[in-house]
Amino acid sequence: MSKKLVGMVLAMLLLLAVAASASDITLFYAGDFDPNNPNANGLANENDGIVSGNPYGSATFQNFIVPNGQNWTIHGLFSNDLMNINPGQAYWEIRTGVSEGNGGTLLFSGTGTDIVTPTGRSGFGFTEFNNLVSGLNINLGPGTYWMTVVPLAPGQGGRSFNSNTFGANSVGTDISDQEFWNSSFFGVNYTNADNAGVFPFFSDGVIGTMGGGGGVPEPASLLLLGSGLLGIGGTIRRRLSK
């Protein structure tokens, strides 16, 4: 192989490496829903014709940790929800300092287009969909945060439940059993989700780029592709058991 050709190949590899390093990755993902787990469940995460409110009828909050020495630029947030609505938008938030009965501090929030994609999983007669809000530009330093992505389908008669997970195919770091549920509709104020069932984690995630040190998590596109009501109750399983 000529020196010129070798140089061209090396230049192309360098360009590919630079492009890959600049692309979005999955910075955090709590894990896949497992419909075969005896504690599989979902908790109301919605704003629709049945469970409504302002800015949502019911929201679930999953924590994630930006490790020391890292800085994240968040471009997307997503939740995996068992649902039979067709949302056009989703409401999202990032908070800090959430605890029992305390919503902490709201850092960022907004409403954006909901990019809805089936995950290939299902449960309790519902299909699970990935609800992604993209186009964000949020910088976060080290610390513990809570996120929500609530599908919005005003006037529609279906339901949406954030899937629980036990960590299958997870990426990044979070704190088990520190997930919360807030809903004026159901009369709960940032209560620990375990008060409503078995919710060690919600199947939610964060997409963006990483500064500082640390390893390289799963590419966002591969993870999203590969990870891939019946009454008025807040959870699916509890309602079906009545």
pLDDT in tens, 132-186: 999 999 999 999 999 999 999 999 999 999 999 999 999 999 999 999 999 999 9
Confirm whether 215 is domain-assigned.
Answer: yes
Q: Picking from 104-118, 155-169, 216-230, which range would have the lowest pLDDT averaged per residue?
A: 216-230
Confirm whether 9 is domain-assigned.
Answer: no
Domains held by the chain: number: 1
Query: In this predicted model, which residue has the larger pLDDT, 85 or 231?
Result: 85
Give the structural domain span for 138: 24-240
Confirm whether 70 is domain-assigned.
Answer: yes
Q: Is-contact 120 37, C-beta < 8 A?
A: no
β-pairing, 89-96 vs 180-183, is: unpaired
Confirm whether 17 is domain-assigned.
Answer: no
> Number of helices and strands (H, E) in the chain?
3, 15
Alpha helices of the chain — where are they, by DSSP H? 3-22, 220-226, 236-240
Confirm whether 182 is domain-assigned.
Answer: yes
pLDDT value at position 240?
A: 36
Residue 1, pLDDT > 60, answer no
Confirm whether 12 is domain-assigned.
Answer: no
Confirm whether 14 is domain-assigned.
Answer: no
Confirm whether 16 is domain-assigned.
Answer: no
